[in-house]
Chain A
Amino acid sequence: GDSVTQMEGPVTLSEEAFLTINCTYTATGYPSLFWYVQYPGEGLQLLLKATKADDKGSNKGFEATYRKETTSFHLEKGSVQVSDSAVYFCALSDDGDSSYKLIFGSGTRLLVRP
């Protein structure tokens, strides 16, 4: 079945460092790909998405490119801030699945130090 694998955390960075969180997926159809973020004490929020190959999703300085050839959707940010400390989840929704449910990776905790 469909699945998402993302790098284990925690990832600890200094402020203004470059961030990459790796995400790869397995899907039988043509999935849409998402990054969700969960700040401490808050619910899951959609950070960005891409619906087809070579699409780039971006928001709040974060970017991810849908790479069909490598089945990847890595999250990047050029300069992280302390306020970016959160848990990041990669997810897919298989367009061949009529329920459009989200399948999540296990999450990567990011800690940014001043």
Chain B
Amino acid sequence: EAGVAQSPRYKIIEKRQSVAFWCNPISGHATLYWYQQILGQGPKLLIQFQNNGVVDDSQLPKDRFSAERLKGVDSTLKIQPAKLEDSAVYLCASSVYMGEQFFGPGTRLTVL
């Protein structure tokens, strides 16, 4: 069974630029999560989707971050404009409802 796929694996941008990350969850997983992991910290939930609806986006900085999950499968997370403090690993995870979360390899973002 294929795992959670994410791309790109690495991205370097300058502050005030925009960037987008893509996630393809495990087939059949209705729930999709985006986490932000700053160096030296544990992952923090940014947004959670159930199919294509948002369940929790309380910690998403909505002035610069946006996410969508069209058709309830793939998801895109966007940052516009990026700040230095957005440098982190962005993790995507998926699960069946109330089930174990499976994580992708992450996208490491460096903002210069």
Hey, which bits of chain A sit against chain B, CB under 8 A? Answer: 4, 42-46, 49, 89, 91, 98-107
Per-position 1/0 for B76-112, Cβ under 8 A of A: 0000000000000001010000101101111000000
**Which residue of A42, A101, A104 has the most chain B CB atoms within 10 A of its CB atom?**
A101
**B contacts with A, residue count (CB < 8 A):** 23
In the complex, are the beta carbons of A104 and B105 less than 8 A apart? no
Q: Tell me, in angstroms, the Cα distance from A4 to B43 when the chains sit together.
A: 12
Residues of B within 8 A of A4 (CB): 42
A99 partner, pick from B43, B48, B106, beta carbons under 8 A? B48
Q: Is B45 an interface position by the 8 A CB rule?
A: yes
List, sorted by A's number, 5 A–B pairs whose CB atoms are closer than 8 Å: A44-B93, A45-B103, A46-B101, A101-B33, A106-B40
A44 partner, pick from B45, B56, B91, beta carbons under 8 A? B91
Interchain nearest-CB distance for A64 vs B (Å):
16
Residues of B within 8 A of A43 (CB): 3-4, 91, 103-106
**Which residue of A44, A102, A105 has the most chain B CB atoms within 10 A of its CB atom?**
A44
Interchain nearest-CB distance for A5 vs B (Å):
10
In the complex, are the beta carbons of A105 and B42 less than 8 A apart? yes
Q: Tell me, in angstroms, the Cα distance from A43 to B103 when the chains sit together.
A: 6
Q: Tell me, in angstroms, the Cα distance from A102 to B3 when the chains sit together.
A: 19
Interchain nearest-CB distance for B73 vs A (Å):
19
Residues of B within 8 A of A45 (CB): 103
Q: Is B64 an interface position by the 8 A CB rule?
A: no
Q: Tell me, in angstroms, the Cα distance from A17 to B2 when the chains sit together.
A: 36
Q: Tell me, in angstroms, the Cα distance from A73 to B48 when the chains sit together.
A: 26
Interchain nearest-CB distance for B41 vs A (Å):
5
Give the contacts of B26-47 with A (CB-CB under 8 A): 31, 33, 35, 40-45
Residues of B within 8 A of A98 (CB): 55
Query: Given A43-B103, A89-B42, A106-B41, are A100 and B98 neighbors across the interface (CB < 8 Å)?
Result: yes
**Which residue of B42, B43, B104 has the most chain A CB atoms within 10 A of its CB atom?**
B42
